[in-house]
Amino acid sequence: MNRRWRWVSYRLMSGAGALVAGIAFFAVPSQAGNASTICSDCYIVTPATAPATAGAGTAGDYAFQVTNNDPNETLKSLTFAAPADFVITGAAGPSGTSVSAVPGSSVTLTLPAEPTGSTFTVTVTALAPCVAASPVSWGVSGVDSRGETNEVQWSSSPLSVSLTGTCGLAFTSTGQPAQTAVNSDILTGFNSTGLSLTVQLVDANGNPLAPADSSANGTMVTVSIDTNPGGGTLAGTTTVTSSNGVAGFGDLQINNAGAGYELAAGASGFTAGTSAFFTISGQIQACGTGSCSASQSTPTTAASVAASSVNGDFVTLGLGGVSFSCNHYNAVSDVAAFGVLDSTGANVPRASAIVTLTISPSVVASAHRPLLLWQVCYASQSSFPAIPGTRGTAVIGGTSYNTGLLLPCILFKPGSQQPCLKSQQLTETGAITLTFVAVGDPLGHT
């Protein structure tokens, strides 16, 4: 009997032990913190770096280790879904892997058979957006050789990505504004010639945004005046939707003359970009064979410029929109910017012009200045002779100019090709007219 009970007791304990063991086996998953330690018949995906960072708008490689824990099946395909607004442009796996078409928001890799316990690496290349959307976590799924779709899981939590830096805007080197006349289209060539201004969307590293990037298309880019020497107003289509990472502006105009205008391009979430400096002239007159001229006036000043030139050159003239002075000299009138330019907008070498500035009687009366003290304050990129003590420098539109009061022309030999003051005259109406020789692409005022 005792033997019998010993046997019964042994059988009960054995059963109880088996029962307890069974309960312990099924309870482990709910207590485990790391899925890779308890998954005996699935595939574990482990990010190589978690969490990950990506420069705004840049391309990055994301590596994943995949472990086969299934003793009976192999993984047929693996699909990675990028975070919102990321664009997958490529992927690679073990030898023999084929990849679905890209770019896109997800990519599927058809895999070769991998034995149980093996670990292989999958790399996915993706473009980060310029502005992050939510969520910013990767997704993963797969299909095994039996067609089961619930056999793939992350080793812990999904890979999350955070953006660093910001994308920006830049006027391209071939899309900068060129000099033109008031109320004329500002294009890349002198006198409203050439192509539309172009603004390039760039990533956090300053490189052009890839056309496949989600931010490359549909970003609203707005252009405005950043530096406004002439108090002008920008007209035309000032907001354009980007396409393939570029926004083009072909009908922008400014209504006031000025030297040193600068445009700015902005978009939500982007660092603003600025253009090169450029000039808006009051007039641009084409020259035929012989001479050409231009004239303009304001309530305080009238100006005219005449030059002997060849067919294909231009005379430019603008009143106002420039600020500079000469040492020991108080200016009382508008600044005149003028020049003789070729069809590209470049100065015609050593070209000269005769310029006349007429100061209104009201300004003359209020200045209380004798005729001989009315002088021309002149600015030129080239050095020139000036009245002693009046020399100086000025930065106009990002360019350094030499300044000074012009010497009388009688002090120079004929044909010396120096800017100089030809005459000072008091008119019957009480106005004062100053006539001087200008060389190159200068500026002047009285």
Residues 203 and 238 in one domain: yes
In this prediction, residue 38 carries a pLDDT of 54
Residues 6+ apart with CB under 8 A from 355: 303, 304, 305, 336, 338, 435, 436, 437, 438, 444
Kindly state the tokens that stand for 412. Answer: 């120079």
Residues 372 and 407 in one domain: yes
Whether 321 is covered by a domain: the verdict is yes
Q: How many domains does the chain have?
A: 3
Q: Is the dihedral of CA 197, 203, 205, 207 positive or negative?
A: negative
In this prediction, residue 10 carries a pLDDT of 35
Whether 358 is covered by a domain: the verdict is yes
Q: What are phi and psi of 100, to 5 degrees?
A: -70, 170
CATH number at residue 152: 2.60.40.290
In this prediction, residue 3 carries a pLDDT of 37
In degrees, rounded to 5, the angle at the alpha carbon of residue 215 between the alpha carbons of residues 209 and 219 is 110
Residues 290 and 266 in one domain: no
Whether 60 is covered by a domain: the verdict is yes
Residues 6+ apart with CB under 8 A from 212: 87, 89, 103, 127
In this prediction, residue 444 carries a pLDDT of 62
In this prediction, residue 74 carries a pLDDT of 85
Residues 411 and 428 in one domain: yes
Whether 251 is covered by a domain: the verdict is yes
Whether 181 is covered by a domain: the verdict is yes
Write the DSSP symbol of residue 104. B
Q: Which residue type does 90 have?
A: G
Q: Which of 225, 255, 281 is the last residue of a domain?
A: 281
Q: Which of 281, 302, 328 is the last residue of a domain?
A: 281
In this prediction, residue 117 carries a pLDDT of 74
Q: Which of 126, 142, 164 is the last residue of a domain?
A: 164
Residues 331 and 438 in one domain: yes
159: left (phi over 0), alpha (psi -120 to 50) or beta: beta
In this prediction, residue 108 carries a pLDDT of 97
Whether 30 is covered by a domain: the verdict is no
Domain encompassing residue 368: 283-445
CATH number at residue 247: 2.60.40.10
Q: What are phi and psi of 365, to 5 degrees?
A: -65, -35
Residues 255 and 187 in one domain: yes
Q: Which residues pair with 261 in a beta bridge?
A: 278
- Give the pairing of strands 180-181 and 278-281: parallel
In this prediction, residue 47 carries a pLDDT of 94
Residues 303 and 418 in one domain: yes
Whether 439 is covered by a domain: the verdict is yes
Residues 241 and 292 in one domain: no
Q: DSSP string spanning 382-398?
A: S---B-TT--EEEEETT
| Average pLDDT of adjacent 10-residue blocks, the chain of 446 residues | 36 36 31 46 88 92 91 89 95 94 96 82 96 84 89 90 95 96 97 97 97 96 97 98 97 97 97 97 88 91 87 90 91 88 87 92 91 93 94 94 96 88 95 91 63
Helix (H, G, I), strand (E, B) or coil at 438: strand
Residues 219 and 361 in one domain: no
Residues 342 and 426 in one domain: yes
The owner of tokens 């796996």 is 93
Residues 6+ apart with CB under 8 A from 17: none
Nearest to 75 by CA among 154, 142, 150, 153: 142
Residues 309 and 334 in one domain: yes
Kindly state the tokens that stand for 382. Answer: 């080239």
Residues 300 and 379 in one domain: yes
Whether 82 is covered by a domain: the verdict is yes
Q: Is the preceding peptide bond at 135 cis, omega within 30 degrees of 0? A: yes
